[in-house]
Every structure is written in structure tokens, then in C-alpha cells.
Structure 1
Amino acid sequence: MPSSKITTLSELKDYLYLAMQLEHATLPAYLTALYSIKPGTNTDAVHILRVVAVEEMLHLSIAANLLNAVGGTPDLAHPGFVPSYPTYLPDGETDFTVGIMRFGKEAVETFKKIERPSKGDGRLVRRSYAPGTSVLGRHPKSDEMHFYSIGDFYKAIEDGFEFLEAEAQGLGKTIFTGDPKRQITSEYYYSGGGQLFAVSDLESAKRAITLVMTQGEGTPTSIYDNDGELSHFYRFDQLTHGRYYQKGDEPHHPTGPTFSVDWEASYPVKANVKLADIPAGTELYDAAQSFNQAYAKFLKAITRAFNGKPELLLTAVPLMFDFRNLITELVRNPLPDSAGHNAAPTFEIDAVTAAEALTAARQEVVA
């Protein structure tokens, strides 16, 4: 049975790549829910989803900084980086799935599971899935072993940094040998809570991991993160209660101003729609393909930003909100033979990458 203990630098890099994948996996779900909301409705929900989406990009950038700090290579365009939805995320003994769906009660409850506070002591559990099932939070060396929670996953990473740096220091060395020019700092970041800072040593690495965890879950004693901002879980919990949290409130008992949530004021998109569900040759199919191509371009731009071109992040992150037109073109239109459901983005990025690779190979042959 593999251990959750990270004992080599190669293992740490594998874990940090998986951390980037895990942080990114929430973005398609949050963005689709956001843009499925009908214009002029649910303004509070729109604001909450936008803030959380931007901060998830912050978490993705932090994971890239951690990987770059130890000499790794962030690659968001690598096949398999974007999961096939629905995908499993770690959540205790049973796991749960995150999918592409409309804004509504089911979506919000799923988002709360993603951000749910956990103890995080690095535990692993054995789980089995059918072949081809998309699962995040697996042990890098064993498909059957999975982390009990996202908190356990990050605890293993933090322990790995401490162990490996102590080992290196004993030899008069350090694991923090990455190119400092690859570090993304707040001057290159679009907006959002929390400071994006360079990771250059153990102290800054641990601070970065703490930022990710507390911004999502809060601290062990507070619904707020270390910067005094309401954590993601409790931002979403406000939608469940139709009421804002304010200073001094206890978990699940907000006492701030009330607001209304219209759970039906979103387009009835088909959950986890695939290109195969959309008739080929139609405008709707072309729109879905166009979105996937745009998203693949976005991931490539982010990859370049994380690999020595940090200034690209200033233009890449706002693209998340330029996706609105492409997504609304899908979610507002009925999906043929789908019992009244509408289309949605499919996020089938590997198909785009494969097609581009095939085209490039053909052009090379012709040349």
C-alpha cells in the first residue's frame, strides 16, 4: 500500500501538478453556472460566483508558483489536464462528482462540497472506479488509493516540502532551485482577494498552501481566511440561506442582510453535455467547437504565463469573462431531442488538442 508521505522531489512535482489540475477543475463548473443565470436575475449569486472564480485562478497560480519553485514545469495544455465531466473529487469515504450544470440548488450544494472544511491529516483510502471514470485526488503512483479530502491532499504536499527541504539542508542544499523569473506576483494578477507572491523558500511555500486552504475553507476557528475575507464555502453557504454573513457569525448561521435567490432563473442546460449530444454540422455544434478552441487557447496562454511570460496573465485571466458570449450562445439554445434541455459548453479540450496536432503533422508532411 503506497504511503501519502512524499520522499522524493519527483514525487513532490507530481503532487503539485495534480494540485494544479485539482484547482483548475472547479473553473469550468463555476463559469458554466455563472453564465447560465438569466440576465438581470440573481445579482448576489452572480457576484459570489465571479469572486470565487477569480480566486480559483489565484489558487491555480499559487500551485504553479509552488511547482516552479522546485524546478517543475506547469503544463495546462497537457492531454488529460482538463478532466472529463462529471469528475470525482475527494470527499471522505464516498467521494462526489463535480459536473457542468446550470445554476441551482444542486450546483450550489456541489460547490459547498468542493470547498467543505476538512481536518487534513494526509489520510489515504482505497477506492475503485469503473474504467474510464474521471477521478481527481488519486495517489500519483496508485489509481486505487485516493486522498480522503482536499485538505488531506494539501497536508501531504506541505509535509513533503518540510521533509525534502530538511533533507536538502542537511546536505547544505535546497529544493528551491527554480528560476525566480517564473514566479507570478500580484503585479501580474488580474484581481481578487489574497496576495499572489513569489515562492522561494519553505516559509513562503507553507504560506502559499495556507492561503489556498483558508481561502477555500476558512481557518479551523473562523469562517474567514487569514486575510479576514469570507471563505469560499461560506460565500456559497450564503446562497443556501439567502443571507449574508457578518463579523461574529457562527458557521451556518448568517445574521447579515437578506437577499433573494431565484433557483429557477437559469437556462435549463443539459448536465455534462458532450459534443456527441449535439448534431454535427449545426450552428450549435460549431458554437460548442468554437468554445472548446477558445478554452484551449486560454489554457495555452496560461501555460506560457507560468513558464516565463508572467505578463500574459494580465490578458489571459480576463478571458474567463470574455467566455460569456461563447457560453451564452450555447446555454440559451435548445438541444435537439433532449427533453427541453439547452446546450452548454462541453470542455472537451483533448479533442481540440488532438485535432490541432493532427493538422500540424499533415502540414509538416506537405512541407
Structure 2
Amino acid sequence: MNATGDHGHPAMKTIREYVEAEVLPLDDLKGALQLAMRLEFATIPPYLCAQWSVKDDPDRAEGVLHRIVSQEMNHFALAGNLLTAIGGRPSIAHADFLPTYPTGELPGGIPQKLPIDLKPLTEEQLAVFMQIELPEFPPIARLAVPPATIGAFYDTISTTFQKLNPGIDQDAHAVELPATKPVRTVTDAVETIDRIKSEGEGTQGSPDQPSGERAGFAHYYLFKELFLQRRLVETDGKWSFSGDPVTLPEVYDFAPCDARPNPSAEFNRTLSQLLTDLERCWTSGAPPNVAAMFRLQSLGRDLIRRGIRPEFRWDGGTA
């Protein structure tokens, strides 16, 4: 996956470059939000493949993955809404937007020690997912030169909104999401960014004091429960993974398939049409293509049950 170039657009900066700038000019704020869309989307195919691989599921791991995927899709859409609110135009309906798996970095140049790939739900894959969602607090905070994290990136975007105070287009097209108010003010923008951050990697303090509600746990902790196969519980004011045991599900194994005709062809066409229609949500106010979302899920599950890895590639024949 590269972090530069986007369908003929100027080269995109790395997350470190955005973070080191501290406050961004308007054009860079638009670039950062386009990068945020790529970053949020890059996690969705690996998480979906893990979810679709679940077979026998005694402790409802698939439900955890479904919730996380839904939130990542919401974060992707919220980043697009923030972009149109300041006069930008999301660009997602092209081959360059889609990551190539396996990859050793997330969009924006965030290196990953464990390669990110499309695989079944296993302990090894959960370790990859925890790496993606790694919080920006200790041990990260103890490093002499801490890496640029996703959390720091969103902090920079939030700070820029507050200090730059960009004009907000009240008539901007946006993807409507349940229980989410539209971006009409800078305060709305900051609250949106806080939501993305808290639902993903968590916020400062959450290693010691995550939300008392299970529904409030950030993705990192939900993945870690599955990885350690123990529930995260609070005892005498302290949190630990010492609760009830968690049994990982049985899964369907799958692998890339080079057969001809391509078994992923219809999946790729559906994905490409979905991205095309989603881009139109922001450019013309069209409604999301919900039918394509369900179709993609059905096709993906079918491929995996046949032992075939969905490709998540752009179909150049889609307009």
C-alpha cells in the first residue's frame, strides 16, 4: 500500500508529516481527511474476512467483529462528511483507493511489524488487529521518539479545526448515519473526531479505566479479549483480563485463488459499484447503496466458505 498519489491527485503526505505540522492549512486539512478515509477503509477488508470466516461460534466472536466493522465503516463515512463540510470532495471510486494485501504499512506510512493480510479469525490475526488499533499511551508514550500514531493524527486534525476555524458548508452532502448529528459547526467536527478516536484505539487513561459498559470498550480491548481468551473485568477499581473464559470460534480456511474465470470477479464488481455509489453520496447527495452492501457480504461469505479469499480489487469496467 502506498501513501502517495490518489487518482491523479497531488502526492499525499505521511501521517508523521501531518502530525509534525501541528496545525494544518486548509488544503492540508482536506488532504488529511482524505487520508483518514483511506486509513479507516484499510482496516475493513481484513476485519470483514475474519468475520466472514466464522463457523461454529460459542462465544459470539462474530458479533464483536460485526460491531467493529460497523464502527469502522461509520468512521470512514464520518471522515468523508468532515471533508465535504470544509469544501473537500472525497475520492474513493478508483483502484488507487484500495489497499493491496498483504501490506507492511497502513495508509500514511504507518509501519506494521506484523503484515496486514486477509485471513481467517485466528490468534495470529487477532495479534495483527491489536497492532492496528494499538493505543498511543504506554508503552508507546515511554519511547524516546514515539511513532506517529493514528490517535496523534486525529489530534492534529482536531486541533486544526479549532485553531483554523474553517468555514463549514451548511449544505454539504453527507452520508447520514444513525445517532449521528451532521457537521454544522467546528464543535460538531471536534466531537466527530473524538468519537472516531474513542471507539477505535481508545483515549488516554483507558488502559486503566476503560468504560464500565462493555459497549464502550475500544476496538483494541475487544480484540485483546479474544486474543487472550478472557473477558476484561473490573475488580476493586482495577481492570484486568481475568474474567470469564472466551472460546475462539471454528473458522473456514481460505486462500488466494488464481483460477479462471476469476471467482472473485462478481465480488470485485460489486465492491467497485459500492464505492462508486458511495462517492456519489458526497458529490450529489445520492443515498447509500444498501443493497450492494448486503450483496457484497453474501458474495464474500460464499467465497470464503468455498475456500477462496475475496480479492477486494477495483473492477476497471465499473463506471
Write the mapping of 1:200-211 to structure 2, written as runs, cut at 5 A.
200-211=184-195
Residue 259 of structure 2: aligned partner: 279
Residue 89 of structure 2: aligned partner: 73
Residue 53 of structure 2: aligned partner: 36
Give the letter aligned to residue 266 of structure 2: S
- Cα contact 1:181–1:308 (8 A) shared by 2: no
Pair member with larger Rg: 1
The answer to whether residue 136 in structure 2 is matched with residue 163 in structure 1 is no
Residue 25 of structure 1: aligned partner: 42
Change (3 A) 1:105 1:94: closer
The answer to whether residue 258 in structure 2 is matched with residue 267 in structure 1 is no
Residue 25 of structure 2: aligned partner: 8
Report the aligned-residue RMSD: 3.1
Structure 2 counterpart SS, 1:97 = strand
Change (3 A) 1:344 1:92: closer
Give the letter aligned to residue 180 of structure 1: D
The answer to whether residue 221 in structure 2 is matched with residue 234 in structure 1 is yes
The answer to whether residue 269 in structure 2 is matched with residue 297 in structure 1 is no
* The one of 86, 101, 104 aligned to 2:122: 104
Deviations 1:316-359 (A, max 9, x none): 3x7544433312332233xxxxxxxx32101111xx13x346xx
* The one of 180, 199, 217 aligned to 2:171: 180
TM-score (norm 2): 0.80
* The one of 307, 328, 346 aligned to 2:283: 307
* Residues in 2 aligned to 1:232 and 1:163: alpha-carbon distance in whole angstroms: 29
Structure 1, unaligned runs of 5 or more: 126-145, 166-174, 190-194, 334-341, 358-367
- Cα contact 1:214–1:226 (8 A) shared by 2: no
* Residues in 2 aligned to 1:301 and 1:43: alpha-carbon distance in whole angstroms: 36
- Cα contact 1:71–1:179 (8 A) shared by 2: no
- Cα contact 1:218–1:224 (8 A) shared by 2: no
Change (3 A) 1:306 1:227: farther
Write the mapping of 1:88-127 to structure 2, written as runs, cut at 5 A.
88-89=105-106, 96-119=114-137
Change (3 A) 1:11 1:41: same
* The one of 196, 200, 212 aligned to 1:216: 200
Change (3 A) 1:250 1:231: farther
Aligned length: 292
Structure 2, unaligned runs of 5 or more: 1-15
Report % sequence identity.
27
* Residues in 2 aligned to 1:303 and 1:202: alpha-carbon distance in whole angstroms: 23
The answer to whether residue 290 in structure 2 is matched with residue 328 in structure 1 is no
Deviations 1:128-176 (A, max 9, x none): xxxxxxxxxxxxxxxxxx96211122122222223322xxxxxxxxx22
* Residues in 2 aligned to 1:6 and 1:308: alpha-carbon distance in whole angstroms: 30
The answer to whether residue 161 in structure 2 is matched with residue 196 in structure 1 is no
Measured after TM superposition, the shift of residue 250 of structure 1 is 4.4
Change (3 A) 1:196 1:247: farther
TM-score (norm 1): 0.70
Residue 362 of structure 1: aligned partner: none
* Residues in 1 aligned to 2:220 and 2:251: alpha-carbon distance in whole angstroms: 22
- Cα contact 2:77–2:175 (8 A) shared by 1: yes
